[in-house]
Amino acid sequence: MNDFPYLPHTQKDIEEMFSFLGIKDIDELYRDIPVLFKGELNIPSGLSEMEVKEKLSDLASLNKNIEEYGIFRGAGVYNHYIPSVIYPLASNRNFLTAYTPYQAEVSQGTLQILYEYQTQICNLTAMEVSNSSMYDGASALAEAILMSKRINGKNHVLMSKLVHPEYQEVSKTYTEVQGMNIEQIDYVSETGQLDLADLSSKITQETSCVVVSYPNFFGVIEDLKVIREKVPNEVVFIVVTYPISLGLLEAPGKFGADIVVGEGQSLGNTPSFGGPGLGIFASKKKYIRKMPGRIIGETVDQDGKRGFCMVLQTREQHIRREKSTSNICSNHAFNALLASLYMNVIGKQGIREVSLQNYHKAHYLARKLLETEKFKPVFDGPFFNEFVLESKIDPEFLNEKLLEQHYFGPLILKNFYENMGNNVLFCATELTKKRDIDFLCSFLEGLS
Amino acid sequence: MKLIFEKSVSGRKSYSLPKLDVKEFQIDIPQHLIRNEEPELPELYEVDIVRHYNQLASLNHSVDRGFYPLGSCTMKYNPFLNEEVASLNGFKFIHPYQEERTIQGALELMYELQEFLKEITGMDDVTLQPAAGAHGELTGMLIIRKYLQENNLGHKNEVIIPDSAHGTNPASAVMAGFEVVKVNSNNEGRVDLDHLKSLVNENTAAIMLTNPNTLGLFEKDILKISDLMHKNNALLYYDGANLNAIMGKVRPGDNGFDVVHLNLHKTFSTPHGMGGPGSGPIAVKSYLRDYLPKPVVGVKEIGEYYFDYDIPKSIGKVRSFYGNFLVLVKAYTYILSMGKEGLKKVSELATLNANYLKEKLSRFLDVAYPDVCKHEFVIKGSSLKDYGVSTLDFAKRLLDYGIHPPTVYFPLIVDEAMMIEPTETESKETLDEVAAIYEKIVEEAKEEPQKLKNAPMTLSIKRLDEVKANKDLKVKFD
């Protein structure tokens, strides 16, 4: 007997296999190892399915989840509605238990899904080509910056201070070892938008790329048109975006973005404590050979029938090794599937409607919060579904009190930026209900 | 089959949203920043979508459908339990910026997983942040680089990598700012020790090894290699892609490795999801702890878990937030299910299955290195050339028999290579059937080679023109 449902071997099987191999003991197959581990791993013995499930349920229940708690926090991971049809369809085990489509003829499902995903991302961002996903928004940005160096050979990076702070950190980690240096572009304290004068004064002959976030980390919508005018053509213009906002906002490709990256979690992926997410990566077609990551293309079979396969693999690590455009191998294909499904379900009108609902709910929230007089406005630039207010109540105290009422309050900005005082970042999405906003505001009335 | 865009009919929809319950505001965004055309997304009703994806699913081979022995990818069976627990609301619906006391379950799970991984690898500290194996490689190499710089060894810029290594190794080393030096394999398929000695010099930063290597062979000179490296102030990096062969049998940390990465989606069955998400934690010896990306999960004496940002020389972050958390949940579930005895048994049976299939196939195909293998082995397909067929033709013919081909044309040092990894979750009957199919195809190659060259013949699609795909590049639907 064996005790493990995932292991098929009976004692008889093992004996027959031993006898076929002419061995008496499994360790004969480990005879070439000089230092076998003789001890026992300090790990508990295996548990039954019931016991594991109970243990995991217990752990899960120690977490306060946002199905039970209201949330007014975004900052890179957003709580959006996920239509019911999405997870059951995606969870089909012929998707879930397949791997990278190395053999195209038995992977047409995967390949077509990723081809459709690439098309959707291009259409959403108004870019010409998209890869089939990266790990997350942050690593996608880091790779975009490395790509800018492959395009123009330069090392100076200009990045808006209002790109997500974690993306800035990841970019620094990736690019510093390649001799690239990142300089921050300041923002205008009245509007919360990029300081154009600061941008212009910092561009040099050595500038490889300019990175802006649209909307930015403070939720403010940058004017890509005027920014683009300040960025010389030989400098790669990289836009970090939030895909849900693109139902309402003009696509970055329309403003001449060279590379668009972003976090795709908001497209049909649960927040999942921040991972796995989905790195969106799209660019102009002329740069396709400089792009990192897997790309799917259309072709025909022997009979001329349409099919799909991986293309431009000579850029990739498994062929090009140390000369590849990136080391990425496993990407986030399953999350791309969820995103693609989401975009199919929501469709061209839906994305606009979701986007508009986000806009109106956030503006309602902002208006009501200001009416409580517990907050002061901070920036006057236009915002999408997130905005900064200065809290007259100590932010930690505020969030403690809200937690008691089963709400996650706004993000406390001083944890991310110096000199932020009591500034907090609020977020509303289509899932934020009017009654929660009204409750929040009436609760705050009584708080000092 | 049709693309989803070709099924789109203007005016259809498959979503419904509640009516906006707040007042509509005048949109105060400048006109030129407002989208003037709706994005071209398909318009369908729900049944269209359901049928589309069910049709697509039927076009995929998967572990649940049949044998999938993709070498070095460890396509083992993926328990349903892993999926079920990872879909609990307490895991799926938590936000990365929640207050620590509201996510104690997630932190406890991460902490315990760190502890398990330390134990399995024989290392001292772990970060769960990297999103995939290659991402772990990059993280590990950045740690090595920073360590060398901090210790006045910044001139060390060469990383030695065997010619049999995964392509990610050289790519990751270069991304971390190193130069790659290739060490040859000897005629036994292991690192050529003499060649290695001739390459090691004062600029040597590290060696990256997969052990067992991509030929499925254990580097039996590992202790000599380790001595040689450490005497030269160089470090050992362990590529954990092939860890499935050795759990509970040998620990990289005990063999002198300084940095180890793991591929949770492989070894711990999380599953592969058509190419990801994976998860690539790395484990380090204690003297490298201060270089890990922030944060790691710690525990206070009162049993409270917290994110520990006290990592003074951290390389910085490599990913937003804390890594691929839901993948961590699945790997943790798998480890609890198997336990210490189970994990050891997994490796033993993976090794037994590989050796069994290798011996069976060796009767009619050339095994590149006949020595006892670990979880995988490599067939040298060059003898097929006598019949006018290639490894690719052989692989495509396997598709007609409903089994997935092995990894082909890798490792690069074996002519017409087929790298086969059956994993421990395949039964003896399956291996016997597979061997019979391989034998049959060898016979076909001798007698009807055209059959292989025309393969696959039984699928929805015949062999694809990959040259055309690259020449007439079409990467989106217009």
Whether residue B462 lies inside any domain: the answer is no
Whether residue B64 lies inside any domain: the answer is no
Split into its structural domains, chain B has a count of: 3
Q: CB-CB: which of B76, B274, B464 is closest to A110? A: B274
Domain identity same for B168 and B47: no
SS3 call for B15: coil
Candidates B94, B292, B330: best to mutate against A (most CBs of A within 10 A) is B94
Closest by CA to B116, choosing from B331, B347, B349, is B331
Q: Does B218 touch chain A (CB under 8 A)?
A: yes
Q: What is the model's pLDDT at position A446?
A: 86
The percentage of chain B sitting over the pLDDT mark of 90, rounded to a whole number, equals 100
A135/B277 CB distance under 8 A = yes
Q: What is the model's pLDDT at position A2?
A: 58
Whether residue B135 lies inside any domain: the answer is yes
* Phi, psi torsion values for B211, nearest 5 degrees: -140, 110
Candidates B318, B473, B476: best to mutate against A (most CBs of A within 10 A) is B476
Q: Does A344 touch chain B (CB under 8 A)?
A: yes
Handedness of CA B150, B152, B153, B157 (dihedral sign): positive
Q: CB-CB: which of B32, B120, B316 is closest to A173? A: B316
CA distance A296 to chain B (A): 6
Closest by CA to B195, choosing from B173, B217, B221, is B221
Closest by CA to A164, choosing from A137, A190, A131, is A137
Domain boundary among B320, B338, B356: B338
Binned average pLDDT, 10 residues per bin, chain A of 448 residues: 84 97 96 92 96 98 97 98 98 98 97 98 98 98 98 98 98 97 98 98 98 98 98 98 98 98 98 98 98 97 97 90 92 98 97 98 98 96 98 96 97 95 98 96 88
Q: Angle at the Cα of A437 (from A436 to A439), degrees rounded to 5?
A: 65
For residue range B463-472, list pLDDT tens digits in order: 999 999 999 9
Q: Angle at the Cα of B336 (from B330 to B337), degrees rounded to 5?
A: 90
Domain identity same for B13 and B118: no
- Interface contacts (A, B; CB < 8 Å): 663
Question: Which residues belong to CATH 3.40.640.10 in chain A?
Answer: 83-341
Return the residue of A nearest to B333 by Cα.
A52
Domain identity same for B136 and B175: yes
Q: CB-CB: which of B54, B105, B337 is closest to A63? A: B105
Tell which A residues from 175 to 204 touch B, by Cβ distance under 8 Å.
176-178
Candidates A92, A135, A278: best to mutate against B (most CBs of B within 10 A) is A135
Tell which B residues from 295 to 354 touch A, by Cβ distance under 8 Å.
315-327, 329, 332-333, 335-346, 348-349, 351-352
Structure tokens at B356: 């069994």
Q: What single letter denotes the amino acid at residue A342?
A: Y
Q: How many C-beta neighbours within 10 Å does residue A69 have? A: 18
Burial label for A155, CB within 10 Å (0-12, 13-18, 19+), is middle
A135/B131 CB distance under 8 A = yes
CA distance A444 to chain B (A): 19
Domain identity same for B212 and B323: yes
Domain identity same for B260 and B227: yes
Return the residue of B nearest to A93 by Cα.
B64
Structural domain including B31 reads: 4-57
Region of residue B259 (phi > 0: left; psi between -120 and 50: alpha; otherwise: beta): beta
Q: Does B4 touch chain A (CB under 8 A)?
A: yes
CA distance A447 to chain B (A): 20
Q: What is the model's pLDDT at position A1?
A: 45
Q: CB-CB: which of A65, A99, A273 is closest to B96? A: A273
Q: What is the model's pLDDT at position A319?
A: 86
For residue range B196-244, list pLDDT tens digits in order: 999 999 999 999 999 999 999 999 999 999 999 999 999 999 999 999 9
Q: Does B22 touch chain A (CB under 8 A)?
A: yes
Q: How confident is the model at residue B316 (pLDDT cuts 50, 70, 90)?
A: very high
A272/B85 CB distance under 8 A = no
Q: CB-CB: which of B78, B108, B327 is closest to A59? A: B108
Q: Does A441 touch chain B (CB under 8 A)?
A: no
Strand partners for A309 = A297
A43/B339 CB distance under 8 A = yes
d(CA A208, CA B455) in angstroms, rounded, equals: 48
CA distance A204 to chain B (A): 25
Structure tokens at A373: 């007089």
Q: What is the model's pLDDT at position A447?
A: 84
Q: Does B67 touch chain A (CB under 8 A)?
A: no
d(CA B339, CA A299) in angstroms, rounded, equals: 47
Q: What single letter denotes the amino acid at residue B29?
A: I
Exposure b/e, B130-153, CB count within 10 A at least 16 = b: bbbbbbbbbbbbbbbbbbbeeeeb
Return the residue of B nearest to A364 by Cα.
B22
Give the Å distances, CA to CA, from A391 to A302, A426, B18: 67, 11, 31
CA distance A140 to chain B (A): 10
Candidates B112, B175, B179: best to mutate against A (most CBs of A within 10 A) is B175
Strand partners for A207 = A156
Give the Å distances, CA to CA, from B41 to A126, A343, B70: 12, 7, 35
Domain identity same for B173 and B140: yes
Closest by CA to B296, choosing from B120, B85, B91, B143, is B143
CA distance B272 to chain A (A): 5
Q: Tally the C-alpha atoms within 13 A of residue A191's C-alpha that lie toward its C-beta.
A: 15
The structural architecture, per CATH, of the domain A68-79+347-444 is Alpha-Beta Complex (3.90)
Domain identity same for B249 and B281: yes
Do A144 and A115 meet the contact criterion of CB atoms below 8 Å apart?
no
Please report the beta strands in A152-305, taking only residues with DSSP state E, as ranges in sequence order. 156-160, 181-185, 207-214, 236-241, 259-263, 279-283, 295-300
> Any idea what the CATH number is for the domain that residue B203 is in?
3.40.640.10
Distance of CA B461 to the CA centre of its chain: 28
B325/A273 CB distance under 8 A = yes
Do A111 and B59 meet the contact criterion of CB atoms below 8 Å apart?
no
A364/B338 CB distance under 8 A = no
Do A262 and A283 meet the contact criterion of CB atoms below 8 Å apart?
no
Chain B positions in Cβ-Cβ contact with residue A132 (cut-off 8 Å): 275
CA distance A442 to chain B (A): 16
Return the residue of B nearest to A38 by Cα.
B249
Mean predicted lDDT score pLDDT of chain B: 97
Whether residue B461 lies inside any domain: the answer is no
B22/A73 CB distance under 8 A = no
A44 DSSP assignment = P
Whether residue B443 lies inside any domain: the answer is yes
A134 DSSP assignment = B
Domain identity same for B356 and B290: no
Whether residue B69 lies inside any domain: the answer is no
Return the residue of A nearest to B463 by Cα.
A301
Candidates A344, A370, A400, A431: best to mutate against B (most CBs of B within 10 A) is A344
The structural architecture, per CATH, of the domain A83-341 is 3-Layer(aba) Sandwich (3.40)
Q: What single letter denotes the amino acid at residue B43?
A: E
Peptide bond preceding A215: is omega within 30 degrees of 0, i.e. cis?
yes
Residues 6+ apart with CB under 8 A from B128: B110, B113, B114, B279, B281, B296, B297, B322, B323, B328
**Does the pLDDT value for residue B111 go beyond 70?**
yes
Q: CB-CB: which of A16, A63, A92 is closest to B102? A: A63
Question: Which residues belong to CATH 3.90.1150.10 in chain A?
Answer: 68-79+347-444
A115/B477 CB distance under 8 A = yes
Q: How far apart are the first and last CA of chain A?
A: 67
Structure tokens at A7: 């292991």
CA distance A288 to chain B (A): 10
Structure tokens at B135: 């991402």
B276/A40 CB distance under 8 A = no
Q: Does A247 touch chain B (CB under 8 A)?
A: yes
**Global confidence as pTM:** 0.98
Return the residue of B nearest to A67 by Cα.
B93
Return the residue of B nearest to A329 by Cα.
B134
Tell which B residues from 383 to 442 touch A, by Cβ distance under 8 Å.
395-396, 399, 404-405, 407, 410, 424-428
Do A293 and A332 meet the contact criterion of CB atoms below 8 Å apart?
no
**CA-based Rg of chain A, rounded to a whole angstrom?**
25
* Phi, psi torsion values for B331, nearest 5 degrees: -65, -40
Q: What is the model's pLDDT at position B54?
A: 98
For residue range B260-270, list pLDDT tens digits in order: 999 999 999 99
Domain identity same for B308 and B377: no
Q: How many C-beta neighbours within 10 Å does residue B179 have? A: 13
Do A263 and B440 meet the contact criterion of CB atoms below 8 Å apart?
no
Torsion of CA A281, A287, A291, A296, to 10 degrees: 80
CA distance A7 to chain B (A): 5
Domain identity same for B270 and B401: no
SS3 call for A284: coil
Do A134 and B23 meet the contact criterion of CB atoms below 8 Å apart?
no
Tell me the three-class secondary structure of B218-244, residue by residue: CCCCHHHHHHHHHHCCCEEEEEHHHHH
Helix axes B168-175, B133-150, angle to 10 degrees: 40
- Interface pTM (ipTM) of the complex? 0.98
Q: Does A377 touch chain B (CB under 8 A)?
A: no
Helix or strand holding residue A442 (H, E): helix A434-445
Domain identity same for B307 and B347: no
Structure tokens at B240: 């954990």
Q: Does A63 touch chain B (CB under 8 A)?
A: yes
Torsion of CA B189, B212, B139, A79, to 10 degrees: 130
Distance of CA A189 to the CA centre of its chain: 28
Question: Reading across the β-sheet that carries A423-427, which strands appear in turn?
Answer: A375-377, A386-391, A423-427, A411-412
Domain identity same for B302 and B419: no
